[in-house]
Amino acid sequence: MAVLVQQADFDLAQELAQLGGADGSAGAVISFTGLVRGDSDLHALELEHYPAMTSAALEQIEQAARKRWGLIDVRIIHRFGKLELGQQIMMVAVSAPHRRAAFEAADYIMDYLKSRAPFWKKEHSTQGTAWVDAKPEDEDDLARWT
Amino acid sequence: MAVLVQQADFDLAQELAQLGGADGSAGAVISFTGLVRGDSDLHALELEHYPAMTSAALEQIEQAARKRWGLIDVRIIHRFGKLELGQQIMMVAVSAPHRRAAFEAADYIMDYLKSRAPFWKKEHSTQGTAWVDAKPEDEDDLARWT
Amino acid sequence: MNLNVVYFAWLRERIGEPSEMVETNAATVADLIKELRTREERYDLAFSDLDAVRVAVDQTLTDFDAPLDNAREVAFFPPMTGG
Amino acid sequence: MNLNVVYFAWLRERIGEPSEMVETNAATVADLIKELRTREERYDLAFSDLDAVRVAVDQTLTDFDAPLDNAREVAFFPPMTGG
């Protein structure tokens, strides 16, 4: 179990190697990685966050998922700062006894990170800068889990 | 795009490094790894497959997912032979512009691998050997996609 | 017609062969199964519960009604358990 | 009471400060917002559409009705866009 909030990049392979469950307790491991995607003129994404709150918010999401699906292990890394096109923004890795639990838990964690983790994204493009708006669907996504 | 059926182990990190989309076209990358899980007395899993059919079946599943979700890239590796507790059985990696497509595609591919890829698992335990039965839920899982 | 008939998992074990050439005039998979069951008890046993048997003709999953004209390989196996 | 009030994203930009100490007797978050809006136009503007504003009291997400007794830090920000 680990939740990391950092400016530095991370090595997904190293994180997966540290994920618990390789002893035969896990039947399923899922990793999700979010990358800076380049729509039209975008060349960078700037992530602002609320340092006093971020880790606690991520840990709360992680604990809720771990409890609900009986996960073996969870690792979450979320970066902040200015990230270039194609760079890694964040990752979630989960291990579980069974496939369905792993999928649902990873999906749940992503939905909550999206709308309940105190990060804000600003796009830097040839047109200037613009804050990314939350989508109405993001809240609908959360409703899937209640 | 790659579909591999092999006895040898694979390196997930290497596979992810080769997955297309790191140029800024992908916003989401998901990997799923299936491992030999040790229920009670199990110590190994033996996977038999239908060599003349396996690759084509996997490619068909891959093509269907790629088309349905507009995926950027897909890699599937499925092993056969005798695998010990904790060892990797298979992996699926997908890259997509958006998160939801990546999740659904990975989930879809796993559902189809489960029931439409010509593999059969035999458990080796202290009690002897036993073929793993398909579960009625596996067919229900497929019905989610039609 | 000469068919290569292949078996997997417990069907292979019950029949005792991974594959065999079968000379047959069966029009469909169901006809072929009927023919095989009359051969020997091990075949009759292997095909006693068809709910537990799946079939592929020339490496394509199909059902027992499938015709065999021009078929070269018929595979019998239990429901798949990949992934 | 002395509150540390912090702002993020476009709220921070509109108000022009990442944080400030505010001396207030506001009973709830809504009261605090009312007070801030009377200060200067940049505050009034920043809080003009409350549907677009979220609040955390002492690092816990809450709503505008939340009481401020014993609160030490109030954060205002737009809906989060993590992940």
pLDDT value of residue A1: 64
Positions in chain B short of pLDDT 50: none
Nearest CA in chain B to A97: B37
Q: What is the DSSP string of A99-129?
A: HHHHHHHHHHHHHHHHHHS-EEEEEEETTEE
Contact criterion met (CB < 8 Å) for A50 and D6? yes
pLDDT value of residue B74: 98
Contact criterion met (CB < 8 Å) for A114 and D81? yes
Minimum-distance CB partner of B48 among C9, C59, C73: C9
Q: What is the pLDDT of residues A101-145, one digit of tens each?
A: 999 999 999 999 999 999 999 999 999 999 999 998 999 999 999
User: Closest Cα to residue C77, out of C27, C26, C3, C5?
Assistant: C5
Q: What is the pLDDT of residues C23-80, one digit of tens each?
A: 999 999 999 999 999 999 999 999 999 999 999 999 999 999 999 999 999 999 999 9
Q: What is the pLDDT of residues B116-136, one digit of tens each?
A: 999 999 999 999 999 999 998
The burial class, CB within 10 Å (0-12 / 13-18 / 19+), for B17 is exposed
Share in percent of chain B as helix, strand, coil (round to 5): 35, 35, 30
CA torsion sign for D18, D21, D22, D28 is positive
Nearest CA in chain B to A110: B99
Q: Which residues in chain C are closer than 8 Å to B116, comparing Cβ atoms?
A: 61, 80, 82
- Subunits close to A (at least 3 CB pairs below 8 A): B, D
Vertex A114, ends A110 and A119: CA angle to 5°?
Answer: 125
Q: What is the pLDDT of residues D10-30, one digit of tens each?
A: 999 999 999 999 999 999 999
Minimum-distance CB partner of A120 among D60, D61, D77: D77
The per-residue pLDDT of chain A, averaged, comes to: 96
Amino acid at B8: A
**Number of residue pairs across B and C with CB atoms under 8 Å?**
69
From the CA of A46, how many Å to the nearest CA of chain B? 15
Contact criterion met (CB < 8 Å) for A99 and B110? yes
Vertex A79, ends A74 and A81: CA angle to 5°?
Answer: 170
**What percentage of chain D exceeds 90 in pLDDT?**
100
Minimum-distance CB partner of B27 among A35, A106, A107: A35
- Subunits close to C (at least 3 CB pairs below 8 A): B
pLDDT (average), residues A48-60: 98
CA torsion sign for B59, B65, B71, B74 is negative
CA B39/CA B33 separation, integer angstroms: 18
Give me the sheet containing D60-62, strands edge to edge: D19-23, D2-7, D73-77, D54-57, D60-62
Minimum-distance CB partner of D81 among A50, A110, A132: A132
Minimum-distance CB partner of A120 among D9, D60, D61: D9
Minimum-distance CB partner of A36 among B24, B97, B110: B24
Optimal mutation site among B99, B114, B121, B125, interface A, most CBs of chain A within 10 A: B99
The per-residue pLDDT of chain D, averaged, comes to: 97
pLDDT (average), residues D57-73: 97
pLDDT value of residue B27: 97
- Contact yes or no, B with C (3+ CB pairs under 8 Å): yes
Is residue A40's pLDDT more than 80? no
Q: Which residues in chain C are closer than 8 Å to B134, comparing Cβ atoms?
A: 78-81
Q: Kindly indicate the confidence band of residue D54, based on its pLDDT and cuts at 50, 70 and 90.
A: very high
Domains of chain B: 3-139 (3.90.1170.40)
Backbone angles phi, psi at C68, to 5 degrees: -110, 5
List, in sequence order, every residue forming a beta bridge with C77; answer none if it has no partner.
C54
Q: Which residue has the tokens 């930009």?
A: D13
Give the predicted TM-score (pTM) of the model: 0.95
Q: What is the pLDDT of residues A75-92, one digit of tens each?
A: 999 999 999 999 999 999
CA D30/CA D18 separation, integer angstroms: 20
ipTM computed for the complex: 0.94
pLDDT value of residue B41: 87
A28 touches chain B (CB under 8 A): yes
From the CA of B67, how many Å to the nearest CA of chain A? 20
Q: Which residue has the tokens 């979010």?
A: A34
Contact criterion met (CB < 8 Å) for B85 and A24? yes
User: Closest Cα to residue B60, out of B8, B102, B1?
Assistant: B1
Q: Which residues in chain B are closer than 8 Å to C78, comparing Cβ atoms?
A: 120, 131, 133-134
Contact criterion met (CB < 8 Å) for A118 and D79? no
Contact criterion met (CB < 8 Å) for A78 and D82? yes
Instruction: Tell me D23's DSSP state.
Output: E
pLDDT value of residue A43: 87
Write down the CATH superfamily of domain C2-77: Beta-grasp domain (3.10.20.30)
| Tokens linked to A72 | 């073996």
Element (H, E) at B124: strand B119-125
